[in-house]
Structure 1
Amino acid sequence: MKLTSLQEIGEFGLINELKQSATRQNASTQYGIGDDAAVIEPGKKQVVISTDMLVEGVHFDLTFCPLRHLGYKAVAVNVSDIAAMNATPTQILVSLAVGGRFSVEAIKELYDGIRIACENYKVDLVGGDTTSSNSGLIINVTAVGEANPEDIVYRNTAQVNDLVCVTGDLGAAFLGLQILEREKQAFLANPEMQPELEQKEYLVQRQLRPEARMDVIHELRELGVKPTSMIDISDGLASELFHICGQSGVGAAIYQDKLPADEQVLNTAEEFRMDPLTCILNGGEDYELLFTVKLTDFDKIKNHPDITILGKIVPKEEGLNLVTPSGNAYPLKAQGWDHFQQ
């Protein structure tokens, strides 16, 4: 029997393989593998559940990542998945695998960040697990949320002529990581050197302490807008747009001159001799929300200061394209993070 390597099929290929064998045993399971969170319906409201694992050396580097920031980030990235379902987070569970090099005080510092995030997002830490680790620090957070059945938003429900929207700005977290990696190398070469972070604070903050966009979820509700599809941007804008379009059976056209980026992103990309467009489209870890809305909702969101309309959903046969200011259309490429192809 020929064995298939993880590198051959990649992370998302593995997920698709596992999805095929995940049969449902209970009527209460409304939606399983394939979206930002599972959906169960034990009562009047539906419950959404999501989990994320952060592994030392893969997702974070303690050389430059403070434990308090790491604890906050571990919660925020899970709350972001709940937000992407248009649901409200209510509880989290935190499991920890930790080695002997960590003191009690260090773990308390990590949980201080978790506590601060829980207070910010109004969620309860209701349990978890701890165990020893021989391969560094591992954090697993499971987030639980709730929503009325009619309010939940999936990835697979975008429609032709919907507007494609995004919150905030893009590319900052990726470039923040480049800065931190550069300063780490400088420190290893000369431990007496001080990090050069002047005018880079925003980018570093976006990498070390991202925020879940629950604020926008609440604001959309106040505006009377329900997205027709939604996903959070963890692996890069292009990659997430491919998820929405692939699962919805549609294409998309987004406009290059509408892509939102902070001035620090543009300047730092030039400093690192990187194409800022690549950082914006494929950087990842922004944890902004990518969503679609009906064309009739345009007037409700057009003046929102933190929502950018990028383009529109088109028929599947037109593909996924980036339209330049001159009107030329180029096929998008999804180059986001894939754990099994790095």
Structure 2
Amino acid sequence: MIENKNQSRTSLEQLGEFGLIEHLTKDFPIQQESTIKSVGDDAAVLSFEKEKVVVSTDLLIEGVHFDLAYAPLKHLGYKAVVVNISDICAMNAVPTQITVSIAVSNRFPLEALEELYEGIKLACNYYKVDLVGGDTTSSQTGLIISITAIGKANEDEIIYRSGAGDNNLLVVSGDIGGAYMGLQVLEREKQVFLVNPNSQPDLSMYDYIIERQLKPEARTDIRQLLKDLDVHPTSMIDISDGLSSEIFHLCTQSKVGCNLYEDKLPLDPQFINTCEEFNIDSTTMAINGGEDYELLFTIKMEDFEKVKANPNLTIIGHTTQESEGLHLITRANTKIPLKARGWNPLANNEEE
């Protein structure tokens, strides 16, 4: 729920816009040398000297991207930062600063926003990024969060979606599909709660996949891991809209085809068990479910030996000539066209 009904409620009108911003951001320490001036003036001042700057923005809207029936505000604040930092990681850059803008309806007291910003602060501290600006305004439709993330990298370190070549290896970090199945569990329990508000669900057997949904992490570690392995990916993207959709983005911009192997997909046992419980196909969920925030990238074939045994990375396929198209090679060794059924933010999706 939005807040504990027994807590005190402070109207946002009591503070005003500038008072609210000052109140919510006063305890955010500066952690980056590139931050010259953060919150408190007309604009932030940043200095990156000779490094290139990368910038990404994401919008999260209540009822579209999150449901406050089961998403605690503290978790939501943390996740909103992670979503943006993940985009910086996908450029092989280091996240350094964020700006946060929110639109809120009058059902949110100050205490609710303090919870949200506590999550934002936790993420800033964990990822060593500075909050350097933002905006607040009113909303007639619930909570809206817009975060812009800023990062830095040397020019030769930046990786684009468009760099994959023919016969590159397709590699993914971590495991996939868990966040989407976590969402399915939460949606099911929400329906049970609506029928019986006194029910108390036991979610311990779903702890990993629910955490993947409510409190994901950005793979800031992969940049250094690849550097230590002496591997420079040819292309990269983060998995926010589903593996199949991201493969389409990467292959389309690189003008290549690909073969994705079903038996190579990295799936967590809890994810597989939950798919069986829901009687749905684990491969379909793994390649179409979004919000894993893992990194998908391509490497040259000669780098195979460097990554093949790394527990953080899995080789799931390879690129082909563009004319061959995109295919899924099933466990039965059948070659079927790969379709992108991931999250489309402009369509009426059922999933996030």
TM-score strictly above 0.5: yes
Match of 1:53 in 2: 59
| Contact 2:48–2:152, Cα closer than 8 Å, also in 1 | no
Please give the residue correspondences for 1:36-51 in structure 2 after superposition, counting only pairs within 5 Å.
44-51=50-57
- C-alpha separation in 1, matches of 2:135 and 2:243: 33
What SS does structure 2 have at the residue aligned with 1:303? coil
- C-alpha separation in 2, matches of 1:107 and 1:332: 42
What SS does structure 1 have at the residue aligned with 2:107? coil
| Contact 2:102–2:143, Cα closer than 8 Å, also in 1 | yes
| Contact 2:54–2:93, Cα closer than 8 Å, also in 1 | yes
- C-alpha separation in 2, matches of 1:273 and 1:324: 19
Determine whether 1:337 maps to 2:343.
yes
Question: How far does the alpha carbon of each residue in 1:46-94 deviate from its partner, in whole angstroms, 9 at most, with x for none?
Answer: 1000000110000000000001100000000100000000000000000
Question: How far does the alpha carbon of each residue in 1:83-137 deviate from its partner, in whole angstroms, 9 at most, with x for none?
Answer: 0000000000000101111111111111111011111111101110001111000
| Contact 1:47–1:146, Cα closer than 8 Å, also in 2 | yes
Question: How far does the alpha carbon of each residue in 1:153-198 deviate from its partner, in whole angstroms, 9 at most, with x for none?
Answer: 0001100111000011111000100100111111111110002313
What SS does structure 1 have at the residue aligned with 2:161? coil
Please give the residue correspondences for 1:310-329 in structure 2 after superposition, counting only pairs within 5 Å.
310-329=316-335
Q: Please tell me the residue identity of whatever aligns with 1:101.
A: R
Please give the residue correspondences for 1:136-285 in structure 2 after superposition, counting only pairs within 5 Å.
136-285=142-291
What SS does structure 2 have at the residue aligned with 1:341? coil
Q: Please tell me the residue identity of whatever aligns with 2:274.
A: T
Determine whether 1:68 maps to 2:77.
no
Residue 306 of structure 1, aligned match among 291, 312, 319: 312
- C-alpha separation in 2, matches of 1:316 and 1:323: 17
Deviation at 1:43, TM superposition (A): 5.2
Q: Please tell me the residue identity of whatever aligns with 1:89.
A: P
- C-alpha separation in 2, matches of 1:219 and 1:122: 18
- C-alpha separation in 2, matches of 1:295 and 1:201: 37
- C-alpha separation in 1, matches of 2:310 and 2:219: 14
- C-alpha separation in 2, matches of 1:263 and 1:133: 41
| Contact 1:183–1:196, Cα closer than 8 Å, also in 2 | no
> TM-score normalized by structure 2?
0.84
Q: Please tell me the residue identity of whatever aligns with 1:209.
A: K
- C-alpha separation in 2, matches of 1:217 and 1:153: 11
Deviation at 1:260, TM superposition (A): 0.7
Q: Please tell me the residue identity of whatever aligns with 1:294.
A: K
Query: Are the structure 2 counterparts of residues 198 and 95 from structure 1 closer, same or farther at C-alpha, using a change threshold of 3 Å?
Result: same
Determine whether 1:292 maps to 2:289.
no
Query: Structure 1 runs of 4+ off > 6 angstroms?
Result: none
Deviation at 1:326, TM superposition (A): 3.2
- C-alpha separation in 2, matches of 1:110 and 1:341: 28
| Contact 1:99–1:135, Cα closer than 8 Å, also in 2 | yes
Return the index of the structure with the highest Cα Rg: 2
- C-alpha separation in 2, matches of 1:51 and 1:340: 16
Determine whether 1:88 maps to 2:88.
no
Structure 1: stretches of 5+ with no match in the other structure: 1-40
Determine whether 1:135 maps to 2:132.
no
| Contact 1:53–1:138, Cα closer than 8 Å, also in 2 | yes
| Contact 1:49–1:142, Cα closer than 8 Å, also in 2 | yes
Deviation at 1:42, TM superposition (A): 8.0
Question: How far does the alpha carbon of each residue in 1:231-288 deviate from its partner, in whole angstroms, 9 at most, with x for none?
Answer: 0000100000000100111000111100011111111111112111111010011111
Q: Please tell me the residue identity of whatever aligns with 2:259.
A: A
What SS does structure 1 have at the residue aligned with 2:327? strand
What SS does structure 1 have at the residue aligned with 2:156? helix
Q: Please tell me the residue identity of whatever aligns with 1:48.
A: V
- C-alpha separation in 2, matches of 1:195 and 1:58: 24
Match of 2:130 in 1: 124
What SS does structure 2 have at the residue aligned with 1:260? coil
Q: How many residues align?
A: 302
Deviation at 1:301, TM superposition (A): 1.1
Query: Are the structure 2 counterparts of residues 116 and 249 from structure 1 closer, same or farther at C-alpha, using a change threshold of 3 Å?
Result: same
